[in-house]
Structure 1
C-alpha cells in the first residue's frame, strides 16, 4: 500500500513539474537543476578528495586493509598510495605507473612511504603498448592514457606517444605470489575495463575483495558502458562515493548509471560485504 502511494505521489509530481516547467523558457533552470542533482548523487565532485568521498572511503576501508594487499593501478605520482599508507602502516601496497618521467616521482614517494612502485601499465594482455601524453609535456601529466583521443579529443591537446610495458593483474598476482587483493584501485584514463579483463581469473576465483575505479567521459573514448562493468563483476555490489557515505547503485538503470562524468565507483565482492558494512554508511 505504501509503495503504491509513493508511486502515485511520484507520478503526480512528475506530471505537475512537466506541466509547469517543460517549456523552452525554463531550459536554463532545468539545466541548473540537473547539474546540481548530479553533484548530489556523487557525480562531478572532483574539486577535492573530501567532496569526492575518497578521503572518507580510504580512512574507513584502511581498517580492513591491515596486513592485506592494496594495488594502485594508474598511480601517477602516488597520491592515493600515500594516503592509503597514512591510514594503514601494515598493508602491502603496490603502485603501477607506466610513464617513465612520472614514475621517477612515484618511485621517490614509494621510497618515502614504504611501498612498491612498478613502472608498467595494466591491461587485458601483457606486452607493450603506446601511451599518449601532451606533446609539450616533458615531465608526464596526469592525463596520460593508452587512448590517444583522451589527449586530443577530451583535453584538446596535441599528443605524442611512447612505448610502455604492460602486464595483467592475473600475471602480477602470480609473479608476486599474491593470493588475495583486499583493495584494487584503478584510474587509467579510460582503460579501466581492460584492467579488469586482465584480472579475469582473480575475479572468477573471488580473489579481489573491493574495487575502486573511476567512471567518466574517458569511457566515451574507450566505448565502455557502466553496464560493461556490471557484466564483468557479476558477484559484486556497486556503490557510488558520496562525501559521507556509499550510495547503492547495484540495481542497473541506464538513466542513473550511464552518466559519462567524473564519479568514484566502489564494487564490493558480495561475500565480503558483511565485513565492509561494519564501517560504512550504506
Structure 2
C-alpha cells in the first residue's frame, strides 16, 4: 500500500510543472535534517549545543576556536563559563584586530594564525569590496565562483595544531571548533597525532559547499574520525550519523557536524 501511494505521488509530482514546489519541499526537508539552518545560532543549534556543553566544563578546560572570525563563538563560551581556557585562531589581518579586542575584553587568547596540515604561508581570499567578512577562505572559488564576487588575497601564516599543542604542553582539548570555509579537513590532518592519542574529546566543524573546492567528501571525515561518533546538529538535538550513506551524507550545503570521542561517556 505504501509503495502504491509513493508511486502515485511520483507519477503526479515528478513533472516540470511542479519543479518550483519540489525545490521548496526539498529545501524544507533539508532544514528538518539540520542542513541550511544558517540564519542564526538558535536555528543552527549552536547556541543550544554550546550552552548544554560548556556548563559542565571544569575550570582550565581547553577550547580551540579555529576560524574564530571576530570571536562570537569564543565570547559566548566565556560568558557561559569564565573558567575555560580558549585559544582563538584567525588569520585575516583585519578581522583579527576585532577578535583581539574581544579576546582582551573576555579574557582569552587570540592568535593571528591559520591552521592546516603543516606550517606554511597561504593566500586567504575575501571579498574585494567587503574585505574582513566571515566568508574568507583559503579557496578562491569560495568567493569568485560560489558568491560570484571579485576577491582580494592576503598572505597568511598557517600552522599545524599538533605542533601548537606540543609547544604549549596541552595534553587534553575539551572542545575543538573548526569553521574555516572548506579547509576543515586540512586542519584535522594537522592534528593526526593528537587524534590518535585521544587528546581531542569533542569536535565541532562545518561541512558545506566550500568542500567542493577543497575536494573533500564527508567520507573523508568519516574515515579520519573513526574513533568518534558523528552527529549533525539540529536546533535542540544531535542527529546520529552512525552509518555512512552517500545520499544522506554527501550534501554540500551548510551544516554543523559534531564528533564525540567514543571514550566520552
CA contact (8 A) 1:76 1:103 kept: yes
Task: State the Cα distance separating 1:266 from its structure 2 match.
Answer: 0.4
Aligned to 1:265, the other structure's residue is in SS state strand
Instruction: Flag the 1:13–1:240 CA change in 2: closer, same or farther, 3 A.
Output: farther
Mark the runs of 5 or more structure 1 residues left unpaired by the alignment: 1-7, 275-282
Asked if 1:262 is matched to 2:243, the reply is no
* Paired positions, count: 264
Cα separation, 2, equivalents of 1:118 and 1:12: 59
Stretch deviating more after TM superposition (50-59 or 28-37):
28-37
Task: State the Cα distance separating 1:12 from its structure 2 match.
Answer: 4.6
Asked if 1:125 is matched to 2:118, the reply is yes
Task: State the Cα distance separating 1:13 from its structure 2 match.
Answer: 4.6
Match of 1:23 in 2: 15
Cα separation, 1, equivalents of 2:70 and 2:239: 29
Match of 1:229 in 2: 221
CA contact (8 A) 1:65 1:183 kept: no
Indicate which of 98, 104, 111 corresponds to 1:111. Answer: 104
Match of 2:185 in 1: 193
Match of 2:58 in 1: 66
Mark the runs of 5 or more structure 2 residues left unpaired by the alignment: none
Larger proportion of helix: 1
Task: State the Cα distance separating 1:128 from its structure 2 match.
Answer: 1.3
Indicate which of 220, 238, 249 corresponds to 2:241. Answer: 249
Cα separation, 2, equivalents of 1:158 and 1:34: 31
Aligned to 2:263, the other structure's residue is in SS state helix
Cα separation, 1, equivalents of 2:76 and 2:69: 13
Task: State the Cα distance separating 1:144 from its structure 2 match.
Answer: 1.1
Cα separation, 2, equivalents of 1:151 and 1:37: 27
Cα separation, 2, equivalents of 1:244 and 1:230: 23
In the superposition, the TM-score normalised over structure 2's length comes to: 0.96
